[in-house]
Structure 1
Amino acid sequence: MSMFSTGILVLTSPLHVLPLRIAPVLTSAAQVVERTLYVHLHPGLNLGTGGQVRPAYIPPVVDLCTLISCLYSNAADICAHLDVRVLLSNVRAQSAALSGNNGPFPTPQTLSHSPEVVLTDFPIQDSGQSSLVTQCLQKYAGHCYICKPCLSSVLLYPRLKEVEEDDDRRGRAAQLKPLETFSDVVVGGTFDRLHGAHKTLLNISCLMANRRFVIGVCDQELLKNKVLKELIEPYDQRVQKLQDFLNDVKPSLEYEIVPLSDPFGPSVSDPELQCIVVSEETRKGGEAVNRKRVENRLAELVLYEIQLLKDAHHADIEEEKISSSSLRTRLLGTLLKAPSVRKSCSLLLPLFWSQAVKRIVQRDGVKEEDALRRLKSQWLNAKLIEHANVVLCTLWEPDVTQRQVLKTWTLLQQRIQKRLEEIRPSP
């Protein structure tokens, strides 16, 4: 089967059984899409009528939060190479939906990456129905999103038949209890190497926010105690990734992304905020925010807590939950950037070093040895990593370092072999 860079997955199964089907659905989708997989939710959508099928609003209910968490957790376990994004443009409370008369997509939404293929879990009754469902699916996707010309389509249902009966037995009753929503919602975090746990937090926050979503991004002082802080992405890069993700997920919201130099940021001073979304481990931080707000004579925020996502692939030195620190640890020994051939490359770092020492001596009036000592403590790792192709770290036990070296050597041998095959003359 052909592989596509970007795809959109239209899920039509009932909301309460979707969590049971997510694993086989993602497994099948990962055989078709290799980069970005958008997920569009429309439980109960009938693609087999042959008539005109239009997108419709679905209400924000408790089961949606469960599904979102399940989706990202399974994606991290099954297809970690895919950038999965759950789209929420068609999720809106009934009262708000009735006030609009153009439906969720007055015009097709532009995504960061235009889909080349649309997939669905819609159940077809026989192979003769495939053509009809395929045409209907393509038209439906075109109503919702701007897709690439000659959009392909894939019906996943034949691969899902074996789990259908099990779903029916295990599927619990739907929790159609409305999810409480708020005008203005706030969250905070480092958001380094955006992963499934981040996406769960952001998606659920977008689900709960009706007007404005404020995101505090840790910077400067708040990064000092992070594991492998030198490998944290630059602030601007983290913000750009956040903006791309959020604009895909729910473009109707007003987003405010602000740098955090202290643990509180705007959460303790903004009177319009109503809710803060926290995890199990950051709940105490949310409670501290409310104490500060009371001191500032502001209304307390509603604390909405989400569960942490377990990391099924964590190593002995990594956290059990999905985390950025674990992802940074996995970078050790890998190729961070391709090497480039430079003459007198060995002069680059010494040249930087001498210039930096000279600037500190002139600026602060200190002795050269003091400037050198300060430079070593503040800049050595960061600058070395900036120029490095591969990074190792001896922070843990010697056997961990040995595994890093072995990983580095193995990957280097693979790259050399691949390069030799590329330059080998054809017979």
Structure 2
Amino acid sequence: MLVKTGLLVTSNPNRLGIILPQIKHEIESILYIQVLNALREPFGNFYPNMFSSWPKLSHIIKGIYTQAAKHCQNLDVRVLLSGLKYKNKLIYTEREVELVIFDEKYASDEVQKFLSTKLVNISKDYKILTCANIAAEPISADLEQKNDKVYQHTVLGGTFDRLHLAHKLLLSEAALRSNSKITVGVTEENMIKSKILWELIEPLETRMSTVENFLKDICPELNISVVSIEDPFGPTQHDPTIDLLVVSKETIRGGEKVNEVRKSKGLPLLDLVAVDLIDEPAQNPHEEKKISSNTQRMRLLGTLLKPVKQNLNLPKRPYVIGLTGGIATGKSNIAKRLQELGAYVIDCDKIAHGV
């Protein structure tokens, strides 16, 4: 039986390419991932000689989300950062953990001690799964990273429609680089109408709530502010406390424009950190190479977005549907499907040809 929420405790993220395909069918909704050397070691002690600052962990976080994109896009994967950034003694999760997965075999008393003393929100009927004896390459890191600074107040912005793995990578980068506050600007309706299938974009309130929930889940120690923005600059054009702007590699020009505006207003310039995009592992024709909300919305076409509700107020006379469209847009297929469901079809093309 599927559980709604699982927690994977991994001592080597390079094993995930093998582990994720094994466990994805065990979990229905959320998979938390906690990186930890060993159960007996304290949090915040993940290869300290290699990852001497929080931003150096970015390479590991991207690797995890990239593997998640390849093997379990159906799951809401969340890499927990508190245990990496701070020497917390406990693992906090918003959702109750029902399945705990280990990538190494530990002694039963060690496992029980870990579960009883480290996990705050664990189901009383929890299950344990061990994926042991899995080969993996040594841990690697982007030690050539030019900027591993940590900032007081980081900011980023976007539409954040149907929060996906690339969004999570951006938000995680902002969380790793902040020791105090994150501000996230979420675009209002006036800024989304140029996007592909913008009509399918989630309501503003939903997008803001999803971003806030994710950040509070992965790093609740931070002061998190999620605000709506009606222009590309948002709070960066007036807030002097912001010192870092996180962007994607494709939006770095927008970050430079932000600094132009701040300079014109006498505000200190922001450092810019550009995050690499995650490739879409199952790209179809006409879809973007990167993981994107545009692709997600395109894939929604032809699916049921809301449950069908019975309308008891329909008139008793025949319900007339007008079906129109250009050449090769699927009218015949839709008409055939409606006919299979019991509708009577009048083909006006055939009637016109017979006149």
Q: 1:338 aligns with which of 302, 307, 317?
A: 307
Q: Deviations over 1:96-138 (max 9, x none)?
A: x6xxxxx414x662x221101111212x3xxxx6534542442
Q: Offset of 1:55 from its aligned partner?
A: 3.7
Alignment correspondent of 1:11: 10
- Cα separation, partners in 2 of 1:393 and 1:209, compared to 1, 3 Å: farther
Q: Verify the 8 A CA contact 1:181 1:209 in the aligned structure 2.
A: yes
Q: 2:130 aligns with which of 125, 147, 155?
A: 155
**In 2, Cα distance between the equivalents of 1:346 and 1:11?**
59
- Cα separation, partners in 2 of 1:179 and 1:403, compared to 1, 3 Å: farther
Under a length normalisation based on structure 1, what TM-score does the superposition of the two structures give?
0.70
Q: 2:217 aligns with which of 231, 244, 248?
A: 248
Higher helix share: 1
Under a length normalisation based on structure 2, what TM-score does the superposition of the two structures give?
0.83
Q: Verify the 8 A CA contact 1:332 1:404 in the aligned structure 2.
A: no
User: Does structure 1 residue 31 correspond to structure 2 residue 25?
Assistant: yes
Higher strand share: 2
Q: 1:138 aligns with which of 112, 115, 125?
A: 115
Alignment correspondent of 1:66: 59
Matches within 5 A, 1:10-409: 10-13=9-12, 18=13, 20-42=14-36, 44-46=37-39, 54-56=42-44, 58=46, 60-92=53-85, 103-105=87-89, 109=92, 111-122=93-104, 124=105, 131-139=108-116, 142-158=117-133, 160=134, 163-164=135-136, 167-168=137-138, 172=140, 175=143, 179-345=148-314, 401-402=329-330
Any gaps of 5 or more consecutive residues in structure 2? 47-51, 317-322, 342-355
- Cα separation, partners in 2 of 1:240 and 1:183, compared to 1, 3 Å: same
**In 2, Cα distance between the equivalents of 1:112 and 1:345?**
43
Q: Deviations over 1:362-421 (max 9, x none)?
A: xxxxxxxxxxxxxxxxxxxxxxxxxxxxxx998xx966x549968x969x99xxxxxxxx
The one-letter code sitting in structure 2 at the alignment partner of 1:212 is K
- Cα separation, partners in 2 of 1:191 and 1:80, compared to 1, 3 Å: same
Q: Verify the 8 A CA contact 2:249 2:276 in the aligned structure 1.
A: yes
Tell me the matched-pair count.
327
* Mean Cα deviation higher: 171-180 or 307-316: 171-180
RMSD, aligned α-carbons: 3.0
2:128 counterpart SS class: strand
Q: Offset of 1:233 from its aligned partner?
A: 0.3
Q: Offset of 1:68 from its aligned partner?
A: 1.2
**In 1, Cα distance between the equivalents of 2:274 and 2:25?**
34
Q: Verify the 8 A CA contact 2:54 2:177 in the aligned structure 1.
A: no
- Cα separation, partners in 2 of 1:294 and 1:82, compared to 1, 3 Å: same
Q: Verify the 8 A CA contact 1:39 1:84 in the aligned structure 2.
A: yes
**In 1, Cα distance between the equivalents of 2:63 and 2:331?**
32
2:212 counterpart SS class: helix
- Cα separation, partners in 2 of 1:393 and 1:198, compared to 1, 3 Å: farther
**In 2, Cα distance between the equivalents of 1:71 and 1:296?**
40
1:157 counterpart SS class: coil
Identical counterparts, % of pairs: 31
Q: Verify the 8 A CA contact 2:55 2:150 in the aligned structure 1.
A: no
Q: Verify the 8 A CA contact 1:185 1:205 in the aligned structure 2.
A: yes
The one-letter code sitting in structure 1 at the alignment partner of 2:30 is T
- Cα separation, partners in 2 of 1:242 and 1:130, compared to 1, 3 Å: same
Any gaps of 5 or more consecutive residues in structure 1? 48-52, 98-102, 348-391, 414-427
The one-letter code sitting in structure 1 at the alignment partner of 2:128 is S
Q: Offset of 1:217 from its aligned partner?
A: 0.3
2:29 counterpart SS class: strand
